[in-house]
A and B are shown apart, each in its own frame.
Chain A
Amino acid sequence: MHDRWVHLHPAAIALTACAAALVGTNGGTFSGEVKPVRSLNYLIRTGLFNYVNLPVPVEIQEHEEAGRFIPITQIRSNDDLKEAIANLVPLLHAPAEVADPIKYVFSEMVRIVLEHSSSPVGAFVAAQYYKESNRIAIGIADAGIGILGHMERFHPVTTHKDAIALALQPGISGTTSRIGGTDFNAGAGLFFTKSIAAFSKNMFLLYSGDAAYRLMVGAGGDASLNPDPNRDKHKFPTGLPNWRGTLIGIDINVQQGAAFADLLDQIRGAYRLDVKHRKDYARKIRFSA
């Protein structure tokens, strides 16, 4: 680690806070040194040291321009989530067209954690707005059973990597072996979130166990979507430090021209790639003013 220059994505901040909360819950102790890096003031303001029980330097020499950010928020219940969403947009000062995909991702990902992770410390979320690149970075971490622990109940997966790949496929739910999910879970949340990241040509990371899937869509890259995540441009390393729960990191470009509704149209198109439908049912829906 550099003595002064340290940059942490909100996913790393959320994961650190989550791990620290787990240590605290289990009666563990902390040891180490907090160095006076330029971003320390920002890290303090995120609330990281409310969970990482280490002394921080009293005098902070330089302040980094942190921009707008959402402090680390621990979410354990439906009410916590509603409160966090209510606080989300005002903190970001974002117009509706920018806020919609952010609210969407935030809600869907945290709900997945609350419903499926069995995390003893709930979900930890953090977000940051980067003014120069006009993007929002969001991190969501839990210390639960992990994706393999969730998926293996109904699907024949034995590795973290296979479980992650399966969980990213639309229509595959960890609550049933049935394609298309149940009446309460569609198995589409992670696919939608990955798609939102892909269409804004930004980062999507899903880390659980010893494996991490990272969508690789750069500014000039191919934003096409595939039901099979292995067909997207990606990196999928294994043998990483084992994290018992799950970490999600996503960046969303807030100056993209496409409206959220257009994005949803494209996601629906990608969904169809995986299911050879007999009819275009969507055309039969009765909408009225």
Chain B
Amino acid sequence: MTTITLFPIVGEFAEDKDAAANIRKTLIEPAIAVGDQVRLDFTGVGLVTQSFVHALMSSVLRAGGEMLENLDFKGCVPGVRGIIETVVQYSLDTGDIDSDFEPEDAVSPKAPSVSRQESPKNGRAKKPSLKSRSIKE
């Protein structure tokens, strides 16, 4: 098991998304790629933002629901635990809405119409109403 101790990297308040993405790319994803389990040690971290936890692991989770079985969360105070639970829940809820989506840095903001979702038959993107956004059972 690979243990990643977060406090020395992010401090008591884990809010730096860039740091989170870097941890994911350099530590979490390589470990999972070789079949290792990952323990994220939050000991000493008193507060995290949803954005931090999202950048840390959302894309890992969205690679497949079974990925959650490869992760272990250590030393989480209630507030940290609550954020992790929220991010896990919505990441896996939405993980299979569009399995072939492109990551953000592969999308050109100046040319949104090239995306399949932005180019429906009638030439107008569909407004994501609450009803249309729900995942059907």
Interface size class of A (residues with CB under 8 A): 35 or more
Given known pairs A104-B47, A264-B82, the reply for A154 and B73 (CB within 8 Å) is no
Q: How distant is the Cα of A154 from the Cα of B115 in the complex, in angstroms?
A: 9
Contacts A188-B54, A268-B89, A275-B133 known; A178 to B97 CB distance under 8 Å?
Answer: yes
Interface size for chain B: under 10, 10 to 19, 20 to 34, or 35 or more residues?
35 or more
Instruction: Type the 1/0 row for A267-289, where 1 means its CB is closer than 8 Å to any CB of B.
Output: 11001101111111110111111
A16 at the interface (CB under 8 A from B): no
CB nearest to A175 among chain B residues: B104
Query: How would residues 117 to 137 of chain B score, 1 for a CB under 8 Å from any chain A CB and 0 otherwise?
Result: 110000011111010011111
The distance in angstroms between the C-alpha atoms of A140 and B90, with both chains bound, is: 27
> Which residues on the B side are within 8 Å of A261 (C-beta)?
77-79, 81-82
Closest Cβ–Cβ distance, residue B93 to chain A (whole Å): 4
A65 CB within 8 Å of chain B: no
Tell me the bound Cα distance from A275 to B87 in angstroms. Answer: 13
Q: Measured between alpha carbons, how far is A107 from B16 in the docked complex, in Å?
A: 9
B-contacting residues, A207-236, CB 8 Å: 227-228
Chain A residues near B87 (CB-CB < 8 A): 186
Q: Which of A153, A182, A268, A281 contacts B68 (CB 8 A)?
A: A281
B84 contacts the other chain (Cβ, under 8 Å)?
yes
B124–chain A nearest beta-carbon distance, Å: 6
Closest to A266 in B: B82
Q: Are B54 and A288 in contact (CB under 8 A)?
A: no
B47, B75, B78, B86: the one within 8 Å of A289 (CB): B75
Cross-chain contact A275 with B134 (CB below 8 angstroms): yes
- In the complex, which residues of chain A have a beta carbon less than 8 angstroms from the beta carbon of B124? 156
User: Closest residue to A260 on the B side, CB-wise?
Assistant: B79
A52 neighbours in B (Cβ, 8 Å): none
B94, CB-defined interface residue at 8 Å: yes
Contact with A along B53-68 (1 / 0, CB 8 A): 0110011001001001
- A259 surroundings in chain B (CB, below 8 A): 78-79
Verify B128–A172 contact, CB threshold 8 A: yes
Measured CB to CB, the nearest residue on chain A to B82 is A264
Contact across chains for A185 and B104 when beta carbons are under 8 A apart: yes
B residues lining the A interface (CB < 8 Å)? 13, 15-18, 21, 39, 46-47, 49-51, 54-55, 58-59, 62, 65, 68-69, 71-79, 81-95, 97-98, 101, 103-105, 107, 109-110, 112, 115, 117-118, 124-128, 130, 133-137
Q: Which 9 A-B pairs have the closest CB atoms?
A: A180-B94, A183-B59, A264-B82, A261-B78, A182-B104, A282-B85, A107-B15, A268-B86, A156-B125
Q: Which residues on A are within 8 Å of B, measured CB to CB?
A: 78, 82, 85, 96, 100, 103-104, 107-108, 111, 115, 153-157, 166, 169-172, 175-186, 188-189, 192, 227-228, 259-261, 264-265, 267-268, 271-272, 274-282, 284-289
